[in-house]
Structure 1
């Protein structure tokens, strides 16, 4: 089975107009494999293979961290992990240390230049800011830089969630006026969820995002931050030339000032490596970038909830009302910027501001009025009839299995027992 990176290469090359034969030759795989994934157009699914447990498992991360710092000997590491409770043999540790060092030794650094539109690199950074009231908080800096021109985009945010990470990408693509063929990342959790046989396992939602914008994600090998030097050196440049001495007042002003600095300083200077002005080289690169799709990717969080018998769904410790006809069905919630949109397939049922507390009940007055009106209509239509035709016919039998609550209870709710988003 091919890796996700090879799959993304197949899709990307196919969109560039290469034939299946040409793609197979370029990637060194069989033409039938190319055909299968182009026609199927779905991400490859992998079965998790159970790895045999080792007595070394609880200490692997500690060992990896030691070896990332320096070329420590196995005997030195053994002394440390013995104190942590390791009871295995020296030979088991020695063999593992040897494998890690061999993997490191195969990585060789070489400065390289990429052709126009070929590659960008992305990095996160964190900054401690002093707020106007004297308190301190952490802000995060997103940076994307084009490999050929060194044109960069930066943005400061309050959090580094996947949703925010993807939103930053979208704004970077618009600022840079296109999408590169591939983007290089380190092993940040928003991109890489783990490794299998030494290869990166990418976040599924992130892969869908990459396919939407037609770029291939690449992950740096572990313990080799220098591979992504085009992003990490500019990160230092931003810290020294823009952030150092900056007086923080608000996130909005910080991003406005950063955008102005990008245009007037960072992207207009003459770069020390290629010797040209970044803006001029960026204009040369624009033609090689992939055009943006007609619509941007929906980065909202998507989850499913079953509607309870009391016409409610729960999310994050709070309850939200939906139309009573949805009782027993599953609805989809899209959450973004503290806004909750509730859908039945593609039909929008309700829109709410996310509750900030816990154990709150948030409703829409329209749903209450609809339930009240329909129940009263049923009573008027069937309430006085007698005979076999209506025997056993009750108000509840004409509705989904809604948990019965007196209408007076909903009246109390409407008068202040809950919150209406009407």
Structure 2
């Protein structure tokens, strides 16, 4: 009901103003003009940040820079406004980009895969809970997947899971999208991600480019987030865990018989048929596998020992004083020097041990043995007697007695 109708109903201007929560003068003006007064917004001054809007957008197109990082740059360009003004604008741009990223998109065959870890728990007969982790890789075009359960989320396990996923999916995608997981990103410098060097070597070996989701935006990886939920509900719920090996055999059978046979809700095609269409577009596996063992350098001490992981290990005496390469994989340590395997040890469960047998060098040959202490003859240089000691004149004892009594000169 409008103001005029209320007035025609017999209500006073005061009552109408109180009822509608407006001033009496506003009611009176409306009744006199028979229209509601238009609201005119005052002209606002341009923002002090406005000259830098495009520069900031260009920065954010490059990467998810923090507002503090951008503030440092635009201050050098003459910006004199506050940090809060900049922060509000940066947040609005990031939210807009994330809304765009959230919109569903379909990738070309062989272009992209997405990878994620899932946390699971196993409860044994005694009630003890043990963590278990699921590695999931999903091809973007077909939604074909590879799932593997592991006990630890180490870099070694992460790379091994990739390797087996490439074999299972029969090729390598051009790029793989990751959340900001520690196996891929070790930190950020000036807003830019710092990739794990070992993982970059692995990616170059297999010919794919690692891509990152914007920080705190896991929804961008929808193609793998939804399959993770699918694994939990369709495979894991009600599953009786007995061993890791058996579980991985069972999940592989579930993928072949169930996950790849379903009609996917997005592309409305069978996953298996779509995967067969995608396989020719995937990159070929390299002729040699990447060595996924973790690598460290250590110096061997003079006693033929090196330290690693809280233990000491013996190596052959030839490596004493040299730097050697350690390759660690599956609790086994291999020690190399110039591509030669020097020693192999099982890493003990308890630290503080000295492992191996001391390796002593062979006895020296006579040519190598120092001649200290051997008879090399007496020195004769400068001596007329041919002996080391000069010859001394010897007097009879009687001469000393006569000299003492004054009966003989000393030099006689």
Is the TM-score greater than 0.5?
yes
Report the equivalent of 2:311. 318
Structure number with the higher helix fraction is 1
The C-alpha deviation readout for 1:53-76, integer Å capped at 9, x for no partner, is 99xxxxxxxxxxxxxxxxxxxxxx
Alpha-carbon distance in 1 for matches of 2:177, 2:370: 69
Counterpart of 2:229 in 1: which secondary structure?
helix
1:252 aligns with 2:214: no
Report 1:374-389 matches (<5 A): 374-375=362-363, 377-378=364-365, 382=369, 386=374
Report the equivalent of 1:286. 279
1:194 aligns with 2:187: yes
Counterpart of 1:355 in 2: which secondary structure?
coil
Cα 1:388–1:211 shift into 2, 3 Å:
farther
Report the equivalent of 2:216. 223
1:297 aligns with 2:290: yes
Unmatched 5+ stretches in structure 1:
1-50, 55-90, 390-422
Unmatched 5+ stretches in structure 2:
1-68, 73-81, 378-412
Report the equivalent of 1:401. none
Alpha-carbon distance in 1 for matches of 2:175, 2:368: 65
Report the equivalent of 1:72. none
Counterpart of 2:324 in 1: which secondary structure?
strand
Cα 1:348–1:53 shift into 2, 3 Å:
farther
Report the equivalent of 1:234. 227
Report the equivalent of 1:185. 178
Counterpart of 1:106 in 2: which secondary structure?
helix
Q: Cα offset for 1:253?
A: 1.4
Alpha-carbon distance in 1 for matches of 2:129, 2:317: 47
Report the equivalent of 1:214. 207
Q: 2:325 aligns with which of 318, 332, 335?
A: 332
What is the RMSD of the two structures over their aligned residues, measured on CA atoms? 2.6
Report the equivalent of 2:390. none
Counterpart of 2:143 in 1: which secondary structure?
coil
Report the equivalent of 1:102. 93
Report the equivalent of 1:123. 116
1:344 aligns with 2:343: no
Report the equivalent of 1:79. none
Cα 1:363–1:339 shift into 2, 3 Å:
same
Q: Cα offset for 1:271?
A: 1.1
